[in-house]
Amino acid sequence: MEKRNFFFLLLAFLVLGSAVLAGGCGTNVNGVSEELNAGEENEEAAIEGVISRGGDPVVGLALSGGGGLGMAHIGVIDVLLENGIPIDLITGTSAGAIVGALFSDGVSPEQMEKIVAELNWSDFLVASVPELGFFSTEGMEEKLKEHLQSENFEDLAIPLAVVATNLDDGEEIVINSGSIVKGVVASAAIPVIFQPVEYEGMFLVDGGLVNNLPSELAREMGADIVIAVNLADNFRFEGRPQGLIETGIRSYSILQRSHSVPVDADIEIHPDLEGVAGTDLDQYREIIARGREAAEKVVPEILALLEEKKENEY
C-alpha cells in the first residue's frame, strides 16, 4: 500500500507539472524550427491533401497536457467521431501528444480505453540513476512502441505536431517529423521526474512548460476551424499542502494561472473533472465519460460552424 501511495503522490506531481502554461517562447528549432520547416514539405503535402477533400474546411484538434486527466481527450474524440465531425490535423502537448499520436495512427477511442484499462503507473516509472531525472523514459517509449504501427510522423494518417521544451534555452520546440516515439516522449517528459530526452542535439522536456495547449499551432498548420480541449481548469486545492510533493503541485498550479494566455480556438472544450484524480487509473471510465459530456455540449455549435464555413467560404 505504501508503494502504491508513493506512486500516486509522485504521479500527482506529473499531472500538474504537465499543465503549466506559459506565454509561449515561440521559437522552434530543429524538430520543426521557426515556421514548421523541419518536415515542412511533408506537412504541407498532408495538409494539401486534407484541403482538397471535397473543399470542406480543415478542422484542427488541439489537445492540452494534463497527466492522467488527459484520458478525457479519449471521450472528446469519441463524441466528435460519433457526430461525423472530421479531425484533419492534431496538435498536442504531453498527455495530449500521447492521445493525439495514438489516434493519428489509427487507434480508435474504444481501443485507447482498453489500453488504459490495462495500464499501471509502474509501466512508466522506470528508475534510473538520478542525474537529471528520477525516472527513465524507457517505460513510456516501450508502451508507445507497443501500440503504434507507424514509426515516423510522416507516416501518420492524420498530420500531427507535438510541443516540447528545450531545456538548454527554455524555447518551445515543435516536432512534426522523425520518430513519433521520441517526439511524443519528449513532449511528456516532466523535468526532474523524468530524464530529459536527447533529440537533435537538444535536451527536451515536457512541452507544458512553454505551451500547454498548442491551439495556435493548429492554425499555423492550416486549420480553418480549431477545436481546443483545455484541461487546465481542473487543478483545484483545499486546505494547506501536505508535504513536499503537494507543495510542488500547488506551486505549478499557481504558475500556470499566472502565465495563462488566450487560447486561439473557435471552439474550446473544458471537461469538468472536479472530484476525479488523474493519478488513480481506476477512475479512467469516469474521466473519459467527463470528456464525452463536455464534448456533447458543444456538438451543435461545431456542426453549425462547419456549415457556416462551407456556405461562406467553400
Catalytically annotated residue among 78, 88, 206, 266 = 206
- Asked if residues 231 and 273 have their Cβ atoms less than 8 Å apart, the reply is yes
Element (DSSP H or E) covering residue 235: none
User: Which residue has 509502474 as its cell numbers?
Assistant: 122
Catalytically annotated residue among 18, 64, 94, 215 = 94
- Asked if residues 158 and 221 have their Cβ atoms less than 8 Å apart, the reply is no
Annotation marks residue 177 as catalytic = no
- Asked if residues 177 and 222 have their Cβ atoms less than 8 Å apart, the reply is no
| Sheet strands (E) in the chain | 59-63, 89-93, 126-127, 133-136, 160-166, 172-175, 192-194, 197-199, 202-206, 225-229, 267-269
Packed helices 95-104 and 180-188: angle between N→C axes, nearest 10 degrees: 160
Annotation marks residue 94 as catalytic = yes
Contacts of 259 (CB under 8 A, 6+ apart): 20, 21, 22, 23
- Tell me which residues are annotated as active site: 94, 206
